[in-house]
């Protein structure tokens, strides 16, 4: 199971962030075919968002045949695989780096300090 994290500072709607995290989770193998996702209500409570936000994300993923909802049992990762193109992965990485560096630079950190800290994180 993946840990969902929503960031209101990105400007990306929460339902879109949920969709992206599920897709990336499937693509990298953190979410497996047949794995059950939290219920709409449970995930909405956990993320402190409206039920409709999670329902919209799940519904869009169902339309794309990525998720399957079985009445009375839950929502599961479907059998259609998800692959993320290099362009999409690079775009996501650029987005993350832009946000990260903007915040770090606003606190006065240098690029060398950022690189050093990232290397320490990677060594763990």
Within-domain flag for 117 = yes
Structural domain of residue 64, as residue ranges?
8-77
- Cα–Cα distance between 19 and 110 in angstroms, integer? 33
Record the tokens describing residue 37, joined without a space.
Answer: 């996702």
Q: Are residues 56 and 25 both part of a single domain? A: yes
- Quick check: 34 pLDDT over 90? yes
Within-domain flag for 1 = no
Q: Are residues 66 and 20 both part of a single domain? A: yes
Q: Which residue has the tokens 């775009």?
A: 91
Task: Specify the number of domains making up the chain.
Answer: 2
Beta-sheet strand order (sheet of 36-37): 36-37, 74-77, 67-70
pTM score, two decimals? 0.73
Task: Check: CB of residue 64 under 8 Å from CB of residue 57.
Answer: no
Q: Are residues 91 and 41 both part of a single domain? A: no
Within-domain flag for 3 = no
- pLDDT tens for each residue of 72-122: 899 999 987 676 788 988 888 898 888 889 889 999 999 999 999 999 887
């Amino acid at each position: 199971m993946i840990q969902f994290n929503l960031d209101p500072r990105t400007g990306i709607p929460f339902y879109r962030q949920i969709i992206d995290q599920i897709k990336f989770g499937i693509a990298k193998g953190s979410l497996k075919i047949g794995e059950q996702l939290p219920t709409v209500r449970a995930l909405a409570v956990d993320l402190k968002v409206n039920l409709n936000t999670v329902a919209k994300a799940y519904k869009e993923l169902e339309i794309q045949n990525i998720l399957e909802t079985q009445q009375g049992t839950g929502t599961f990762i479907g059998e259609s695989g998800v692959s993320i193109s290099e362009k999409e992965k690079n775009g996501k990485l650029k987005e993350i780096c832009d946000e990260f560096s903007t915040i770090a630079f606003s606190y006065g950190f240098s690029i060398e300090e950022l690189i050093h800290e990232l290397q320490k994180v990677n060594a763990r």
